[in-house]
Structure formats: structure tokens, C-alpha cells
Amino acid sequence: MPTVSTQPQNPAMAEALEWWRELFDKAGVYQTKVLKAGDAYPGILAMTKPDKKKKTLLVYGHLDVQPPGDSAEWSSDPYKLALRGGYLFGRGIADNKGQHLAVILAMLDLVEQGKPLNYNVKILLEANEETGSLGLDWMLKKYARQLEADFYVGIDGSMIAKDQPTIYQGCKGINYYRLTVRGSKRELHSGYYGMLVYNPAIQLAKFLGGLTDQDGLIAVPGVRVVADGGFERREVEVREMFGPEDEPRIRKEDLGKLISTQERESTLDVHSLRSGGEPDQVKTAIPTQAVASFSIRTAPGSEAKRVDEAIQQHAWRFFAKTSLEYELELVIAADPGMAGGESLMVEKIANSLRVVSGVEPVITNLSATLPVFSQVAKVYHQPFVLVGFAAPDSNQHAVDEKLPVENFLLAQRFVTRLLTQG
């Protein structure tokens, strides 16, 4: 289903809730409930029959997905599950529907086998993670009693390397921006007016280029933060992180050092640029405006509000030197999240992963963003722990998103072990 949360009034969202509700019923859950999320898309909560003698485990995931982009670039229909070469293909198979399908299938097997669960289980699927978890904070507060638990675990994300089980105790935050730069009211002939007027596309490019230095480090004062603790240098080979077709243009030869820097520091990337006509058409006019989007993945120790203040001040100083108008919109903001201290659930997850994979899991922090980390800590004062089963080459957010079949099966074995032995 095309559950793209960036699409307003998307009918697929309601269809997906009903689909998951039916699947939860088959898995033998005691109760399912649709949870509102303020003005955002609602999510769904499934609960097993409560037993006062057991502790409660809440498993988190999300049912929304990124847009597929140009479907013609996919090897198969992005919204039809396909099996090729030991991989499952489809939008959301890795991020995050496929991983939670493994959770439900594991529970289905336990129900069919009549095996008791060691926990009262709650499964929460939100529908706005890809838009910065809009409404999740509202939901957590509104339904505090229903969502209360002893342990909070997320099934999402990927392993840090092929066949390397990974547990995440924290994550980066995000500030996502849309920048519009406006020039003259109409397009102008570049031969007659070139250099006489400011070209918004050139000034936008200069602004974006100045956000980082030649090494890719953030160059804006007050934005770059280096986190302490939880980030250990790892020796990683290129083939463990990228697929053979990726042909990555890596910045440095020492990939392990580069990854260590990327994980502990705030990073910045440009995601889109648009101005004027089509590049394959010859048109020598000065455009009226230029638009770009970029984001900052903020390291633990950052605050979204302070980062925004620094970026806004930097933009004002830059464009004040020109006669151009600009608008810098903060579209998404989420603070970094950290579990903090020792977590009993981390030990239980590590033991389950160790048993089902035969590999010692790595415990680290996520260089991507999952707002639920900080929001669970803020609302419930409990740590949130994440484990993911996508592979480094799973192409989340990209064309031909995929999940290794062996990882899908590993996720099922992990859930079975955690719920019955953890």
C-alpha cells in the first residue's frame, strides 16, 4: 500500500490501519485500537491480554513509507512484494513494514504452537515517522495509560555491517529545512542583465556550499556538535556497507575513522535543488527564484531550537549582503535521543540476538533519526532501545528497497526468543 505520510489526505493510510488490524486479530491479540495523533495520521495499538504477574513490553514501529520516486527506475512495482536473488523487494520492506511483519508472524507462530509469552505485549505502529513523527508526542501523552510499559523496544533500522547484529541505545536528531531564494519578479535575459542583478540560483549554491568545509564537516558556528561516549571506532570494509552496484564516492580511504566521525558528530546534507528551466533545454535566462532542501543530523548534546537559531542567524548574515529575499523554513525538528545508563532490556536483546545469530551484537548509537527515542524518555522517563534487521545495502528511502530473506527470518527468530525467553 502506498502509505506515504508526506501526501495529504492519503486514503491508503486508513486502508493500512484496517489491514494491520486484521493481521493483529489473526495473531491472537486481546485488543486493537486506533490512536489519534493530533492533526496527523492516526496509528494503531495492539495488546495481548494483560497478566499482572508479567512485565509489559511495548514494541514500536511505523507503517508509513517514503515516496518511491520514479517507479520506472524500480526493477519491479514498488508496491508489489517481489522475491529475487535472496531479497524481498518493495517500498517499506526494510523501512519499516517488513520488519514488523516479521514481528507479527513470530507471534502468529507462538499462538499456533500454544507457547506462552513472558511479557504482556503491546505493539504500536505510528503513521508519521517519515515526516518527523508528527503527532507522536501528542499521542504518547493522550494515551499515556494505554502506552505505559516497563520496556520500550523499536524494531527498525539496519545493522551497521552485513551479518552484524546491532543494538542502538540512542540516535541523532534532525533539523530539516526548505530554503527559497527570490530574485527579480520576472526572468531576465542573461546577456543584457547578467552580473547586473543577483542570480538567486548562484547565491543559493554559494550559501549551501558554505555550510560545510572541504572535509564535509559543518562550518556554521553553533551547529557542529561532537558527542561523548557510545561511539567506538569500528573497522569496516566498503563491501560491508554498500552494494556492488552502488559505486560509492567515499571521502577518505580510512572508512572506519570516517564512520566514527560521522556517528559522533552533527552532519549536514543537501537533498534537493531546483531553479529555472530544465537542464536539458537551452534557456539563457536568469531565474526568478531557487529552492533547496537540506537537513542537519544533530549529535547527542544538540538542541533543535539552538541549532535553528544558529542556522537562521547564519542565513540572515549571508543574504543581508545581497538584495535578495529569502525564506528559510524549519520543516521538521527532533532532538537527539539517548537511553542513558544501563538498560536491562539491552541485556535481554543482546542475549536473544547472540543465541539466534551466533554473533556477538554491537551496542552503539544510531546516526539516523528516530524521534521516539527522545519522546519516550520525555513522556515516560524510560529508556528506548532499538534493534534493526535491514542490511546496509537495503536501499531505505531509495529505489529498489530490499530486505535479505535471511534477515527477515532472523528477525522472526529474534522476536520468538525475546518474547519467550527474554
More confident residue, 277 or 358: 358
C-alpha cell at 129: 515517522
Res. 341: pLDDT tops 70: no
Q: What is the pLDDT of residues 173-229, one digit of tens each?
A: 999 999 999 999 999 999 999 999 999 999 999 999 999 999 999 999 999 988 876
Note whether 209 and 276 are same-domain residues: yes
- Whether the CB-CB separation of 335 and 172 falls below 8 Å is answered with no
Q: Counting beta carbons within 10 angstroms of the beta carbon of residue 242, is it exposed (0 to 12), middle (13 to 18) or buried (19 or more)? A: middle
Q: What is the pLDDT of residues 238-258, one digit of tens each?
A: 766 777 777 888 876 677 778
Res. 136: pLDDT tops 60: yes
Note whether 140 and 179 are same-domain residues: no
Res. 41: pLDDT tops 70: yes
Alpha-carbon distance of 286 to 96, in angstroms, equals 43
Residue type present at position 55: K
Note whether 145 and 190 are same-domain residues: no
pLDDT at 233: 55
Alpha-carbon distance of 207 to 60, in angstroms, equals 39
CA 188 to chain centre: 41
Q: Residue 89: in which H helix or E strand, if any?
A: strand 87-89
Among 264, 299, 334, where does a domain finish?
334
Q: What is the DSSP letter of 361?
A: P
Among 265, 299, 334, where does a domain finish?
334
pLDDT at 342: 57
Note whether 111 and 177 are same-domain residues: no
pLDDT at 27: 83
Domain contains 353: no
How many CB atoms are closer than 10 A to CB 282?
A: 7
State the CATH number of the domain containing residue 48.
3.40.630.10
pLDDT at 250: 83
Note whether 43 and 83 are same-domain residues: yes
pLDDT at 199: 98
Task: From 336, 37, 55, 325, select the one nearest 175 (Cα to Cα).
Answer: 336
Q: Counting beta carbons within 10 angstroms of the beta carbon of residue 397, is it exposed (0 to 12), middle (13 to 18) or buried (19 or more)? A: middle
Categorize the per-residue pLDDT at 358 as very low, low, confident or very high, splitting at 50, 70 and 90: very high
pLDDT at 137: 95
- Whether the CB-CB separation of 104 and 23 falls below 8 Å is answered with yes
- Whether the CB-CB separation of 54 and 120 falls below 8 Å is answered with yes
Cell 530486505 identifies what position?
403
Cis peptide upstream of residue 96 (ω within 30 degrees of 0): yes
Note whether 202 and 302 are same-domain residues: yes
Q: What is the DSSP letter of 345?
A: H
- Domain count for the chain: 2
For the chain, the helix, strand and coil percentages under 3-state DSSP, each to the nearest 5: 30, 30, 40
Note whether 150 and 75 are same-domain residues: yes
Mean pLDDT score of the chain: 92
Q: What is the pLDDT of residues 371-393, one digit of tens each?
A: 999 999 999 999 999 999 999 88
Domain contains 4: no
Average pLDDT over residues 122-142: 95
Strand, coil or helix: 226? strand
Average pLDDT over residues 6-22: 95
Alpha-carbon distance of 97 to 77, in angstroms, equals 16
Note whether 227 and 130 are same-domain residues: no
C-alpha cell at 159: 545493522
What domain range is 299 assigned to? Answer: 173-242+252-334
DSSP symbols for 294-312: EEEEEPBTB-HHHHHHHHH
Domain contains 379: no
Average pLDDT over residues 156-172: 91
Alpha-carbon distance of 19 to 16, in angstroms, equals 5
Alpha-carbon distance of 302 to 312, in angstroms, equals 16
More confident residue, 2 or 30: 2
Residue type present at position 347: E
CA 74 to chain centre: 21
81-84's contacts with Cβ under 8 Å and 24+ in sequence apart are 83/405
Note whether 193 and 328 are same-domain residues: yes
Note whether 284 and 413 are same-domain residues: no
Domain contains 372: no
State the CATH number of the domain containing residue 327.
3.30.70.360
The residues, ordered by sequence, that sit 6+ positions from 334 with a Cβ below 8 Å of its Cβ are 132, 133, 173, 174, 304, 369, 371, 374
Average pLDDT over residues 285-299: 97
C-alpha cell at 383: 529508556
Domain contains 188: yes
Residues in the chain: 422
Average pLDDT over residues 300-321: 96
Note whether 140 and 192 are same-domain residues: no
Res. 412: pLDDT tops 80: yes
Residue type present at position 133: S
Q: What is the pLDDT of residues 148-158, one digit of tens each?
A: 999 999 999 99
Res. 230: pLDDT tops 90: no
Q: Count of alpha carbons within 13 Å of 280, Cβ hemisphere only?
A: 0
Note whether 329 and 397 are same-domain residues: no
Alpha-carbon distance of 172 to 230, in angstroms, equals 12
Alpha-carbon distance of 223 to 205, in angstroms, equals 20
pLDDT at 241: 73
Give the global pTM: 0.84
Domain contains 225: yes
Q: What is the pLDDT of residues 270-281, one digit of tens each?
A: 999 999 988 888
Task: From 249, 183, 171, select the one nearest 216 (Cα to Cα).
Answer: 249
Q: Residue 171: in which H helix or E strand, if any?
A: strand 166-182
pLDDT at 228: 73
- Percent of the chain predicted with pLDDT > 90: 78
Domain contains 53: yes
Alpha-carbon distance of 331 to 296, in angstroms, equals 12
Tell me the H-state helices in 210-323.
Answer: 238-241, 255-264, 304-319
Domain contains 376: no
- Whether the CB-CB separation of 354 and 381 falls below 8 Å is answered with no
Q: Count of alpha carbons within 13 Å of 303, Cβ hemisphere only?
A: 4
